[in-house]
Amino acid sequence: MGAAFATGIIAAVLVIAALIRASGVFAPLAAALFIMALVWPVQKWLQSWLPKLLALAITLVLTVAVCLAFASLAAWGFGRVGHYAIADAARYQALYIAAVAWLDDHGVSVAGLWAEHFDVGWLLRATQYITGRVNTTLSFWLIALVYVVLGLLEIEDVGRRIERLDNRTAARVMLDGSRATAAKLRRYMVVRTQMSAVTGLLVGLFAAVTGLPFAFEWGVIAFVLNYIPFIGPFVATLFPTLLAMTQFESWQAVLGIFVCLNIIQFVVGSYVEPRVAGSVLSISPFLVLFAIFFWSFVWGLFGTFIGVPITLAILTFCAQHPSTRWIAELFGRSAEKTPAKG
């Protein structure tokens, strides 16, 4: 028993190391599988009355259009706020001068720190880093799109091959696990969308009540960025606070804006959503938070988004076999019991 446990730990460590080392291969694959699980019902419905390739083309166009729509919403919101911030640059300059003077009076030389750490070389390195990240992101989604195209073309054929396997238990686990996982992932995205809408509505209403400009835009930004756990809500909180610095006379009011926005994000994102997701998807709220942190460590920003879906998939497949069902029962709220067959 001890040897088997040690072997399992070693295998898990090796798998995690491989996922980190070969993230350029496995992360786009995970994204593609996630997208396929969401869009397959559309593809299947279209195939019932259209040629397969035409149905695939329509599915891909719709998928890309939805992704671009979300990106456009964020770009529109930030663009509106950005134009205002540029027009109000003089007030930010005055705030900066006042802050520098205050720090100098308290023995902190901002000019010296700026000269020491933010030289031309730093600016060049930052530019190179941003350019590299943009190229990496484009490559990531291009590879994922190729996976999606090939996967949607073969998904039915793969299902038939699994059904013909001699090992009936393995066939059942793969087929039932895949169907159950896809259904849970779709429910997860429904919950995520609902919580994002609630967050956006609350942020927009709060901004309107407090007199913060661009209340609708802040609500839209909060809605879109809420799909990225932790990092997205932080960005959606930081920028309204920066705008509030030029709109309110006292620092207490600015601090109040920052605290209240964080309370909204915390209550919805860290209290309500994990419990709603846990109730709907039979997964522990603690495991939801752990999955986000763990997969962020493995795959960075993308890991924060895909962490919960991957954990859902693992638990769902574990629930399909008697030897691993205890894992789903341990970490789920009401793990589904699937009778063993074959």
Task: Record the tokens describing residue 14, joined without a space.
Answer: 């090796």
**What pLDDT is stored for residue 21 in this prediction?**
84
Q: Which residues contact 224 (CB under 8 A, 6 or more apart)?
A: 70, 73, 74, 77, 196, 200, 232
Q: Is the pLDDT of residue 294 over 80?
A: yes
Indicate the average pLDDT of the chain: 81
Q: Is the pLDDT of residue 304 over 50?
A: yes
Task: Record the tokens describing residue 84, joined without a space.
Answer: 């205002």
Q: Which helix (H) or strand (E) holds 249?
A: none
To 10 degrees, the CA torsion angle through 45, 46, 48, 50?
180
State the Cα–Cα distance between residues 188 and 299, nearest whole angstrom. Answer: 20
State the Cα–Cα distance between residues 34 and 310, nearest whole angstrom. Answer: 9
Q: Is the pLDDT of residue 340 over 60?
A: no
Mean pLDDT of the region 22-33? 89
Q: Which has the higher per-residue pLDDT, 134 or 250? A: 250
Mean pLDDT of the region 152-169? 89
Q: Which residues contact 47 (CB under 8 A, 6 or more apart)?
A: 55
The band of 279, judged by pLDDT with boundaries at 50, 70 and 90, is: low
State the Cα–Cα distance between residues 143 and 199, nearest whole angstrom. Answer: 32
Cβ pair 31, 144 in contact under 8 A: yes
Task: Give percent of the chain above pLDDT 90.
Answer: 22
- Residue found under tokens 């190229």: 135
Lowest-pLDDT choice from 36-40, 226-230, 297-301, 311-315: 226-230
Mean pLDDT of the region 197-203? 93
State the Cα–Cα distance between residues 102 and 94, nearest whole angstrom. Answer: 12
Task: Give percent of the chain above pLDDT 70.
Answer: 81
pTM: 0.79
Task: Record the tokens describing residue 90, joined without a space.
Answer: 């003089």
Cβ pair 151, 36 in contact under 8 A: yes
Q: Which of 211, 271, 207, 302 is nearest to 221 (CA)?
A: 207
Q: Which of 320, 266, 272, 310 is nearest to 290 (CA)?
A: 310
State the Cα–Cα distance between residues 326 and 18, nearest whole angstrom. Answer: 26
Task: Record the tokens describing residue 340, joined without a space.
Answer: 């063993």
**What pLDDT is stored for residue 225 in this prediction?**
87
- Give Cα 87 to chain centroid, integer Å: 32
Instruction: Give the SS3 label for residue 217.
Output: helix
